[in-house]
Structures are given as structure tokens and as C-alpha cells.
Structure 1
Amino acid sequence: GIPRKDFPAEARTRGGSRAVSRGNERLPEPAPHGKRLLQFSDALPPFARRPRSHIRYDFEYNASVSDARSRREWYRFLRRAAARYESVPAAYELDRPSYGEIEESIARYLHRMRGVRCDPEQVVLVSTYMQAFQMVLRVLVEPEERVLLEDPHSYGLRNAIRLHGCEPVPLPTDSDGLMIARVAERDEGARLLATNPSFLMPSGRHMPLARRLRLLERARERGYWILEFDHNNEYRYEGTPVESLQGLDDDGLVLHVGTFSRLFSPDPAIAYLVVPPHLKDVFRAEDVTMGNYCAPLECEVLAQFLDSGEMESFLRRLNRRLAGKRDAAREALRAFRDLPLTLSPSNAGLHVHFSMHGWSSARVEALANAIWDRGISIFPDEPYTMLARPSAGLLLGIATLEVDTIRRGIAELGEVIRAFIAREGYGRTS
């Protein structure tokens, strides 16, 4: 191969689209999909991938949330399963790996926790939720077809849509989620609508039942699929997780995506896709064709973890801790009465959110850079939306920090915001 330093400059440029040449030789270009890979293959926005060695208060938004007891139980199950695997002859299956009882365990767990109605054969295992997104798009959507996307939304899902060769059509939301009348203005010719009705960004509120039923009715009338991304719904401070949209669907229109990866990172790398009964064969064929794979040992351990009730026990402990951290963060932020920030409601999730009154996304990003330079990791909300908003804001992850650390970090955060306003002259309407 040609050493990297010998490639012409345009070939070394990330996302470059021109034909490249070396001497008198003309090198072929990647196909359009290959060029899109360089732009849209990331699940996390660029801000989340910045160097972190200097960070003292890490309000990481996409952190894993396991605790000492859950890790002990996980590795106890893992050691027991590994000992059994030592006596099992190695085998290679040309069709698909044997995952034991994990599909049955996931189906039972989702029915208990989320009201999902499915047989084990409808559960398709993948390593990440991005794989699930891409699988849905490959099977159900042609490039350049219309894909509707709730706004705000998952950055990874938006990138998956663009990677597939479609431009997402953002749909406005209010405090109860998608506004069905506004959906009706934009869904002509749509093939797929993506939403997270059980966890509305950034507040964690959920879409009321009447609006969910109206959304299902609209999808049936127009003839498009609904991709339900069940993200962060387990982390609910009051009450129980909200019933899934899939559990209300009698027409086989909803595909339900979730993941276990954030609970015990780096173990397990397991996500799932629940497909309607009449689509299970085509998705199994896609699964085999693309060679999707989850480690059978991890699948066996996860099945035991789910069936033993340890997952529900872990989530109860976790949500009690998260509620205390949420309360501490909101109390500390409310103390900044002299600053132009507005707290969003916070009913679930691993973060708190506040907007800077009247500030543009560019100014909030400049503020986030100043905060980051002071050793505090904080994340602008701009990557999670496409529609214009009157006020941009910031996300603070609370999962990995203790209450005292949260309070100290937010106290220093207030100092940075005050200094930024004094230096840059940004007031309440800047």
C-alpha cells in the first residue's frame, strides 16, 4: 500500500470529495456512501470527544451508570458462565450464533418494564443502538426517501439517517412531545418517523397517552413506520417506566430500539431491536447478511441478570441516587439568581438541562468552551436539534459524580459564567 504521508493532500483530508491523483495515476474515489461515512459515522457530537485529561469536574452526558453491587453480581454470573464454557466444545455456526435464552429474557423483561408485546423471535440482537438504526434504515427506507425526526433528538440517529443518504425532516415538539398537527403538515410521502415518546429531550417528560394514540392513527393513515428509540426511560426519578408506544400498536407499525450497553459499560455490548411479527424474517435475513454479532457468553450472563430480578433491583437503587443528584444540581443552579439561565423540568434521565435566556447556539458554544478550559466538562444542546430556538442551553451529566462534587462543580461553573458575561458583555438578551 501507499504510505499515508505519500498520499496527496486532498486524499488525506477527512471528508474530501474530489478525485485524487498521484503523479500520472488517478485513484478511484469512494462511493457516495463511503464519503458520507467520513461525515456521519459518529454516534456522539464532536464536543463530546474533546481531550479530557485536564477535566476536574466531569459532567459527562453519556456515562455508564453501574454501581458496586451490580458489578459484583454481573461478574459473579460471568465467572459461573465462563467456568461452564470451558467444558463446551468450540463451534462455528454458518447461520447465526446461538444466543441461548437471551431473546426470551429480553422479551420478558421488556414486557414487565415497558409493556412491550413481542415473541422472542421478534427480538433482534445487535452490539449498539447505531447498528439497530442502520438496520432499520437499510431494510425499510430507500436513500433520499423522507425520514421524519422528532426535534430535539438523538445525534446518533440523525447521523444514521444522513449516512443512509436521507435528509432528516425535523418535527417540532412542545412539552408533551410531537405536535400531531405539525406532523400532519410535513409527513406527506414519509417512509419512517423516529421518536422517543417515553423520554422527551431534554426534560425527560413523556408523551401523553392520547397523543400517542393519535400518532399511531396518523402513521396508519399515511402508511409509514415508527421507530421508537427507548433511550433513558429506565432512569425515572418518580413512578415507574412509561409504557412503550410498541405496546399500544395493534397494526405492526412500530419498531422498538433499546440498549443495555450504558448500564454496565464496557460489559455488555448488547442492544436490541423489536420488530413487528410480519417483518421478523426479513430482519433475520439482514442480521445474517450483515454478520451482526453479540458475544454468546455476555448474552448468557445478561439473561441471568434479567431473569434473576437483579436488573430491576439495580434500577431502583440507581434512581434513588439519581434523584438525590438531580435535586442537588437543580438546587445549586437555582442559586444563580443573577444569571440569565432557565432550568428545564427534570423528571428522568442522567442529566439536568438549562437554557441561557436569549442566547444563540454560537454564544452558548463559546461559553461551553470557556467552561471546558476551566476543567469542567459540559455539553451544548445544539447538536441535538435542527430547528431554531429562542434560547440555546447546556447539559450537565450527573450519573458519575457524588452530590458534594456536583455542588462544588456547579459553584465553580457559576463563577465561569459570570466571568464570561463580564468579559464578553453577553446579557439576558445577547
Structure 2
Amino acid sequence: MLRIITQRTEAETELKRICDRIHDDRVTHKEATVSEVIQAVRRQGDFALLHYTAEFDRQTITQADLRVSGTELDAAFQQVSAELLQAIQLAYKRIEAFHRQRVPKSWVHFGEKEVVLGKRYTPIDTAGIYVPGGSAAYPSTVLMNAIPAVVAGVKRIVMVTPPGKDKTVNPAILVAAQLAGVDEIYRVGGAQAIAALAYGTETIPSVDVITGPGNIYVTLAKKQVYGRVGIDSLAGPSEVLVIADRSANPLYVATDMLAQAEHDSMAAAILIATDSRLASRVVEEVERLLENHPRRLLTEKAIANYGLVIVVDSLKTAADLSNLFAPEHLELEVEEPWELLELIRHAGAIFMGHSTPEAVGDYLAGPNHTLPTAGAARYASALGVETFMKHSSIIQYSPEALNEVAGAIAALTEAEGLPSHGDSVKFRTENR
């Protein structure tokens, strides 16, 4: 099931194929459907939301059902176990502490001749958070998206999530949302939910930034509304790349690969090993663990299509291939991970050593688990406080300072053919 590759050129070809999986024909043909949904929500508002919820989610809800009530929110705390509540609280504490350290600070520099330059950071007004739902529940996603917004100072946080069985929202999601500071929760998902957040409906307010992962329809909807609103990223299916040497435990590596594959049938699980015996043992462990896996059908499909084992001659080659792929999650299961780290240039999150499975980062280490995928780690970073803030430049010139640069500005405005630009400086300085 898992192929083992030893040729570098073949490995590079396969890594490119996996990286580009979100752009294949099975994905692009869905864009027309997403565009139709978005336009319907823009024109018809709540009516379209109810229609598509019935069509796609097989749930018949009314306009009054859209917003989760206070009664449901209160009841959620009675519906989760004490153990789960404590785990959510612990995750909240650690995630909040990490992001509290990352708040950008405004600054001002007073230079010569009374020239003042600076940057002023301010939060957006309203954030929209998408949380996948339906048959699964992701309270960790709630925390990872809402906490940075709260820390940034966002005043209104709106959450959307698909309705599950009997129109309900999983209580763990509702508990996490309340602990994290979400103000409003609506039971709607898919492209229609993204359209509602971008353009607003009678019930759901429009927002400034939309964050959170979802299926391919959600991702394509975020792509289409970008510009009307900001987004965190175009998150593709999840992926992990493990670099391992002979010190790695094949069982650990196999479980880490399956931990990604069980997310989605398009999830990618890749091992780059410097030891051929380790590679073979990992393949054996993956096949053994799949036999009784609760999500076997989905996980097996991901492994068959986007699972890969590459055997290389050195950690340097492994790092080169990893940088080519720019993984969302990178695990360095090697004897000296800090030495190997020096060779890594592109990765969303890096997990160091044999005792740091990616699941730690998914839930409560603190750093955000909303990460760039499909090669975007070459230029993008994890979701954070900065996602919910923007900065304004601050500039102040004294008359003396303006007079000093007037000639240079005049030359530039003349070169660009913008005379009024030049006049705006000239009229302020010519009679001084």
C-alpha cells in the first residue's frame, strides 16, 4: 500500500504531485458550484442559507434556528464530561498564554529635524470563525481561531458551524466557544456560511476577516470572497512529513503518519528516512495498524493515494526534499533534531525529537494549529494574533524636514508625470 521510493527524481515528482493535489480537476470543477452558492446568498440572504442547509446537510431549519440560543449554550456544560471540560480549559490556558506573547506593539521613532515615523497596530472590528462540524467535533479548532482574535482585541467574534444530527451543535464545540470568548454562534456550514460571513444576511452579520479550516467547498468559497474580506489562508487537506533516521521508533512514525491520514481521504502522510530497514518496518506497522482502524476506509484511501516513503542517503537530502514540499507539519524524528533544524527553511510547524508527536501541537502545546498547506509554507505562516490586526503607518514632517526633501520629491513627481503631487510640496516650501 505504501510505496517506497529510492530515486531522488522520482521522489521530487511524487512530492510535487501530492503538493498539487488540491488543484486537480476533481477540485477545480467545484468552483462553479461554489460561485452559484455565494451569489444566491448575496441575493437571497437567509432564504438561501436555509435552502442549502437542507440540500447539502440534510437538515431542515428555520430562520429562528440559525443562531444557537442561550439555553443551548448553558446546557452544553452539562453535556460534556468533567475530564473533557478540564482538557479544554487546559488547552485554552496554554494557547492563550502563547498568543499573549505574540501581540505586535505600536512604535514611534523621533528622528532628526522633527521627523516622526511609526506603526500603529489596531484590531479588526469583527472576526468570523468557521469550525467544521457535522459528524465530527473540533473544539481545538474553536480555541485555535477564537483565542488569537480575543487576544488581538477583536470586539465581535462570530462563529459558524454545520448542524449535526437533529440540528444540534456538538456541546464540546459550544463549551470551547464560550470559554474562548465567541460572541455569536450560527448553525450553518459549507460555502453558504462563508458567503454569509462575507456579505451578511438578515441574521448573520458580515465580518472583516474569516478564519478556520473546512472542506474543499469552504476553501474555494474563502478564495472567492477574498478581497471583500480578509482570510487566514486557503487551507488544503492536512499533511505531515516525517524525517527519520535509524534512532526513530517505527511504531511512533507509523502512528504519526496515520494521525494525518485519518483526517481526510486527501490528507498526505510522507516519510523521508535515511535507513531502509526503518522504512520497511514503518510500512509494516502502517499496514498492521490499519487492519482495525476505526476510520479505516477513509484512512486507507489517503495512504494509498497520498502516502509515500522515501529512502535517502543523508539528512541533508531529506531536508532538501522537505524544503521542496514545504509541509504543513514537519516532524524531525532524528537523533539530533536541533542540528537538522538548521537545514529546514520551509514548514508550518516543526516538531522536534521522538517525544513530540504532531498531536501535541494540534491540541494544547500553545502555537496555532491552523497552518499553511500545499506548499504555502514557502511564503506563509501559522494563524496568529497578527491575522486579526492591521497596522497603519504614522508619518509627520516638520516644515524644515519637508523643505530638505522638496527637491527630491519634485524630481520624482516630474519623472512620474504627477504634477499635483509636486505642487503639494512646492506650495508648502517655495515661500519659506
* TM-score, scaled to structure 1: 0.26
Higher helix share: 2
* TM-score, scaled to structure 2: 0.26
